[in-house]
């Protein structure tokens, strides 16, 4: 039966792909890729010869209905992004919603995403967290930050290396210079690094060391985060 598969791909090391993901990509009638040039490297590595077409934020509104009709007509389609899980700060939501509304079966494979390794690696509480993805670049940015000022959960953000220092400065204004945070860079790639410290320490470091690569910024929640966590642990023990 035709369906839409959402297939996560490695965020760095190509060995992170699953055996099932490789099988699905080989068996599908069509692979939708955010950037066919980027994805062709992955497909070539694992000898996947399935036909591939571009599906990205600039064309998805124009092509989504046609893709829906192709699946309804019997095609099995696999959606991948440049890296990680489609729909998480990547194209995918619109196609999934359209297929669900049309009664098409959608199956999402578990697999790589940058936010979970960064969260766990931060050393901050990860039983409860909020993922903010990319903050608005201009309009709505300050409003969103102010709304997070009282957030008790660990917060995870994606950020461009070119905006990292500016973002850390804004975080200092909202969360305070002593708030613990971590900056994970190039997760699972050759230059995978994590820097931990207060927001002020991280700000000072990255002023002196120009950040490069893909960035995940993790910020510890407010003090009540730990208080609430300890309370829940005590209740569990009781």
The token pair at 163 is 């905006």
pLDDT tens readout for residues 193-238 = 999 999 999 999 999 999 999 999 999 999 764 555 555 555 555 5
Low-confidence ranges of the chain (pLDDT < 50): 225
Q: pLDDT value at position 235? A: 59
Phi then psi dihedrals of residue 230, to 5 deg: -65, -40
Three-state helix/strand/coil letters over the chain: CCCEEECCECCCCHHHCCHHHHHHHHHCCEEEECCHHHHHHHHHHCCCCCCEEECCCCCHHHHHHHHHHHHHCCCCEEEECCCECCCCCCCCHHHHHHHHHCCCCEEECCCCCCHHHHHHHHCCCCCCEEEEEECCCCCCHHHHHHHCCCCCCEEEEEECCCCHHHHHHHHHHHHCCCCEEEEEECCCCCCCEEEEEEHHHHHHHHHHCCCCCCEEEEECCCCHHHHHHHHHHHHHHC
* Tokens 């369906």, located at residue: 3
Place of tokens 């998805």: 60
Beta carbons of 179 and 108 less than 8 angstroms apart: no
Task: Give the architecture-level CATH label for domain 4-108.
Answer: 3-Layer(aba) Sandwich (3.40)
CA distance 91 to 121: 26
Could you tell me where in the chain the CATH 3.40.1010.10 domains are found?
Answer: 4-108
From residue 172, alpha-carbon distances to 3, 180, 185, 220 in Å are 46, 10, 20, 13
The per-residue pLDDT for range 1-15, each reduced to its tens digit, is 689 999 999 999 999
Q: What is the pLDDT of residue 138?
A: 85
What distance in Å separates the CA atoms of residue 34 and residue 96, rounded to the nearest whole number? 15
Q: Which CATH architecture has domain 115-227?
A: 2-Layer Sandwich (3.30)
Instruction: Give the pLDDT score at 225.
Output: 47
Instruction: Locate CATH 3.30.950.10 in the chain.
Output: 115-227
For residue 36, what pLDDT is reported?
95
What does DSSP say about strands 106-108 and 129-134: parallel, antiparallel, or unpaired?
Answer: unpaired
């Amino acid at each position: 039966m035709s369906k839409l598969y959402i297939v996560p791909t490695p965020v760095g090391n190509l060995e992170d792909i699953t055996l099932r993901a490789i099988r699905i990509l080989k068996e599908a009638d069509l692979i939708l890729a955010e950037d066919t040039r980027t994805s062709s490297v992955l497909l070539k590595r694992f000898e996947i010869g399935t036909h591939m077409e571009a599906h990205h934020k600039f064309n998805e509104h124009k092509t989504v209905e046609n893709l829906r009709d192709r699946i309804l007509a019997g095609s099995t389609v696999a959606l991948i992004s440049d890296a990680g899980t489609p729909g998480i700060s990547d194209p995918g939501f619109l196609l999934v919603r359209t297929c669900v509304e049309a009664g098409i079966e959608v199956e999402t494979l578990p697999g790589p995403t940058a936010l979970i390794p960064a969260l766990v690696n931060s050393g901050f509480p990860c039983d409860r967290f909020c993922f903010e993805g990319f903050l608005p670049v201009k309009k709505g940015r300050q409003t969103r930050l102010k709304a997070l000022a009282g957030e008790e959960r660990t917060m995870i953000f994606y950020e461009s290396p070119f905006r990292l220092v500016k973002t850390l400065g804004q975080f200092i204004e909202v969360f305070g210079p002593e708030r613990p945070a971590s900056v994970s860079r190039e997760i699972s790639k050759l230059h995978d690094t994590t820097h931990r410290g207060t927001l002020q320490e991280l700000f000072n470091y990255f002023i002196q060391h120009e950040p490069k690569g893909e960035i995940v910024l993790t910020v510890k929640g407010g003090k009540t985060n730990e208080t609430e966590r300890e309370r829940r642990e005590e209740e569990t023990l009781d």
